[in-house]
Amino acid sequence: MAATASTAFFSVSPASDASSGKPGGNVGGLPASVDARGIRSKSVSSKTLQVKASAQAPTKVNGSRVGVMEGLKSDDQISSSPPPRTFINQLPDWSMLLAAITTIFLAAEKQWTVVDWKPKRLDMLGDPFGLGRIVHDGLAFRQNFSIRSYEIGADRTASVETLMNHLQDTALNHVKQAGLLGDGFGSTPEMCKKNLIWVVTKMQVMFDRYPTWGDVVQVDTWVAAAGKNGMRRDWVLRDYNTGEILTRASSCWVMMNKETRKLSKLPDEVRAEIGSFFVDAPPVVDEDSRKLPKLTDNSADYIQTGLTPRWGDLDVNQHVNNVKYVDWILESAPQPIMESHELASMTLEYRKECNRDSVLDSLTSILNKGQGDLADHGHVECQHSLRLNDGAEIMKGRTEWRPKRGHGVSFDQFPSESA
């Protein structure tokens, strides 16, 4: 081993050690029994060297023999013969093979998931990210919603506030998806330049059936012209699975100057932006042209005072969100009606905006009490008014109620005094 290692790295003839008079025959100051690494080698027989030489012959470069690193082996490795070649020791490393197969399957599964992705929630079918999309040749907008557990009320159905919020959300997303959203809350770029915002003046909603927890609803909305300076927006809310119409709504909007808080005409620049999205179609709810009288302390049956907006009731334009008005008018509705009836329709007229420092009164009167078709069929009609504490009216409305399944109502249950 020592001779092999020495000749591998140093050009020394084998005869020099035998004929040299120097003790031990050193190379470069090292004893003959120590190799180039300083490791003392055991003596080996010439037969062993011959076996090693025949097992692994040194390579030649330009006619000279050169050593290789594999030549630096222990005596046990040299003297022992290699194991016989069998079928077992020629098999591949099974752990590495298993790891390679697992990697291939994981990569294939990932690729298949990307190519053949399918939504796992019903409310995401046809709308993978719940953002909605433009439909009907660009003239309408559609968005799906899943009714959450926190959006239902004591009747185990979606609250009126929930449905109204879905209508408002689709209206804003329609403007956004159409590329008309400026810096304002639903305002177009030209409206933002002129400090204009949209305000609702009238809304009519028909509730045919209320969805329940876990139902998926599909909302379609579109816009149309309303006179010279207004815009009408319609909604149809359906059951996603059956296509049954659950809610229909129609509303009228006008423009207000954000700084002066006064109504404004529809500028030509804004009309050019939104005119191509107008649909020539009648409203989904027939207009209720009946006059809504103003309620007073004497004509109202129920009055709730001291209502104040909270910070969460304000929108980005710093006035109360129109959905909050619906909550306020129901504050003065009699409890027996709320327990035995459900809201079938409502007509709302917005007269004045409400600010964060306002204090309001909610007034309700019951119409056709004890007489007429509504009472005979168990239906109840109410009239509502919201006013500031200084007497200025900000909204008035009319609601119709139908009996809940398995419930009836007696007008003798209503207290005679105002709440």
**DSSP-assigned states of every residue in 143-155:** EEEEPPGGGB-TT
Q: Does residue 290 surpass a pLDDT of 70?
A: yes
Whether residue 147 contacts residue 211, with contact meaning beta carbons closer than 8 Å, is answered with yes
Asked if the structure places residue 331 within a domain, the reply is yes
Active-site annotation holder among 166, 173, 252, 319: 319
Is 319 a residue of the active site?
A: yes
CA distances from 234 to 169, 221, 398 (A): 13, 6, 19
User: What does the mean pLDDT of the chain come to?
Assistant: 77
State the pLDDT at residue 47: 41
Q: Does residue 339 surpass a pLDDT of 80?
A: yes
Active-site annotation holder among 173, 322, 354, 382: 354
Same structural domain, 295 and 383:
yes
pTM of the model: 0.67
State the pLDDT at residue 248: 98
Residue 329 belongs to a domain with what CATH number? 3.10.129.10
Q: Does residue 78 surpass a pLDDT of 90?
A: no
**Residue that is last in its domain, among 57, 79, 101:** 79
Same structural domain, 278 and 299:
no
Same structural domain, 205 and 253:
yes
Q: Does residue 236 surpass a pLDDT of 50?
A: yes
Whether residue 343 contacts residue 326, with contact meaning beta carbons closer than 8 Å, is answered with no
Is 377 a residue of the active site?
A: no
Same structural domain, 275 and 302:
no
Lowest mean pLDDT segment, chosen from 87-91, 238-242, 280-284 = 87-91
Q: Residue 169 has which token pair?
A: 């959300």
Q: Return the axis-axis angle of helices 46-55 and 2-9, rounded to nearest 10°.
A: 50
Asked if the structure places residue 301 within a domain, the reply is yes
pLDDT digits (tens, 9 = 90+) for 81-109: 556 666 556 655 667 777 778 888 777 76
**Residue that is last in its domain, among 25, 57, 79:** 79
Same structural domain, 262 and 165:
yes
Q: How confident is the model at residue 110 (pLDDT cuts 50, 70, 90)?
A: low
State the pLDDT at residue 300: 95
Lowest mean pLDDT segment, chosen from 52-61, 73-82, 404-413 = 52-61
Asked if the structure places residue 161 within a domain, the reply is yes
Same structural domain, 258 and 295:
no
Q: Residue 395 has which token pair?
A: 């909204």
**Residue that is last in its domain, among 282, 298, 315:** 282
Asked if the structure places residue 99 within a domain, the reply is no
Location of structure tokens 């035998």: 18
Same structural domain, 272 and 148:
yes
Asked if the structure places residue 113 within a domain, the reply is no
Same structural domain, 258 and 323:
no
- The domain in which residue 160 lies consists of 125-282
Same structural domain, 411 and 322:
yes
CA distances from 116 to 82, 110, 144, 196, 285 (A): 54, 10, 22, 46, 42
Same structural domain, 264 and 308:
no
Active-site annotation holder among 165, 195, 317, 368: 317
Q: How confident is the model at residue 393 (pLDDT cuts 50, 70, 90)?
A: very high
Asked if the structure places residue 103 within a domain, the reply is no
Q: What average pLDDT does range 199-217 have in this prediction?
A: 96
Same structural domain, 323 and 350:
yes
Is 241 a residue of the active site?
A: no
Asked if the structure places residue 110 within a domain, the reply is no
Q: Report the number of distinct structural domains present in the chain.
A: 3
The string over 141-169, giving b where at least 16 C-beta atoms fall within 10 Å of a residue's C-beta and e elsewhere, is: bbbbbbbeeebbeeeebbbbebbbebbbe
- Residue 23 or 356, more confident: 356
Same structural domain, 47 and 187:
no
Asked if the structure places residue 118 within a domain, the reply is no
